[in-house]
């Protein structure tokens, strides 16, 4: 089994996370998938940014939910990372999907709605994926179990993943009971029994965020379906070595 290499917020170790340069680099490196984070602006435009507040990754301050799309596009989302990326803008989900549409990539769209439960974000993202005919190779994920339940209606058309950072009862049973058809877990939770339990349910198991070769080795050995990594080039190179010596 080939564990899929998914670029976490793009090639985010060498370019500003969740921006077009990071996505383009990841694609050029040969990543098989790209993971992005989605929040909603005040005027309900889905945009790609991890934090609810723009302070860490832009030259602005304040919450995405309080800003219009026009305000968001005026922010510099690259200079914080390096001068090379000065002037890089926050990307809308639509812009990203237009770019990804004709590429051989799987997409993981993480809804950042565990702190701010954005109204209708599930439907907005689903309908945009449907519009660009990208449902078949996409997964929508969230830490918010209520959000997963709201996506039950989508589960036969698109991947719906529950995200988990700590063990809480039977994760596979919990995920399935609320309507998830995939499970994404923090690397500390990974073990072969969990992978087997997921696969017995026909549920892909993907692991985040894996940057060291030691953790990559553990994920490949356990036959996880995918890993999220900030260094897709490193992961692809190591997977070749691992498969050669397996």
User: Which residues are tagged catalytic?
Assistant: 8, 50
Beta strand segments in the chain, E? 4-8, 33-40, 46-48, 91-92, 106-111, 138-142, 159-164, 182-186, 205-208, 226-229
Question: What is the C-alpha separation between 160 and 89, in angstroms, rounded?
Answer: 28
Take residue 52 and report the two structure tokens written for it.
Answer: 């609810």
Q: What are phi and psi of 59, to 5 degrees?
A: -90, 15
Q: Which residues contact 2 (CB under 8 A, 6 or more apart)?
A: 239, 243
CA gap 172, 140 in Å, rounded: 17
DSSP state of 110: E
Q: Say how far apart CA 197 and CA 171 lie, in whole Å.
A: 10
Compute how many other C-beta atoms are within 10 angstroms of the C-beta atom of residue 179.
Answer: 18
> How much of the chain is helix, strand and coil, in % rounded to 5?
40, 20, 40
Helix axes 121-131, 93-100, angle to 10 degrees: 30
Determine contact, residues 117/144, Cβ cutoff 8 Å.
Answer: yes
């Amino acid at each position: 089994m080939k564990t899929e290499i998914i670029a976490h917020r793009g090639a985010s170790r060498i370019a500003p996370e969740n921006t077009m340069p990071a996505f383009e680099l990841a694609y050029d490196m040969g990543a098989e998938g790209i993971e992005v984070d989605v929040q909603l602006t005040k005027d309900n435009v889905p945009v790609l940014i991890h934090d609810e507040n723009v302070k860490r990754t832009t030259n602005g301050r304040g919450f995405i939910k309080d800003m219009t799309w026009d305000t968001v596009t005026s922010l510099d989302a690259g200079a914080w990372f390096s001068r090379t990326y000065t002037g890089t803008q926050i990307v809308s989900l639509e812009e990203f999907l237009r770019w990804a549409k004709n590429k051989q990539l799987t997409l993981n769209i993480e809804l950042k709605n565990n702190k701010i439960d954005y109204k209708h974000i599930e439907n907005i993202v689903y309908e945009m994926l449907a519009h660009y005919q990208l449902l078949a190779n996409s997964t929508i994920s969230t830490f918010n179990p209520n959000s997963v339940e709201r996506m039950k209606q989508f589960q036969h058309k698109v991947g719906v993943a529950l995200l988990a950072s700590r063990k809480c009862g039977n994760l596979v049973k919990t995920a399935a009971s609320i309507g998830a058809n995939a499970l994404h877990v923090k690397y500390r939770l990974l073990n072969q029994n969990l992978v087997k339990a997921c696969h017995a349910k026909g549920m892909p198991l993907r692991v985040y965020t894996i940057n060291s070769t030691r953790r990559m080795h553990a994920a490949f050995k356990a036959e996880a379906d995918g890993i999220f990594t900030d260094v897709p080039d490193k992961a692809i190179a190591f997977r070749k070595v691992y498969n050669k010596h397996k």
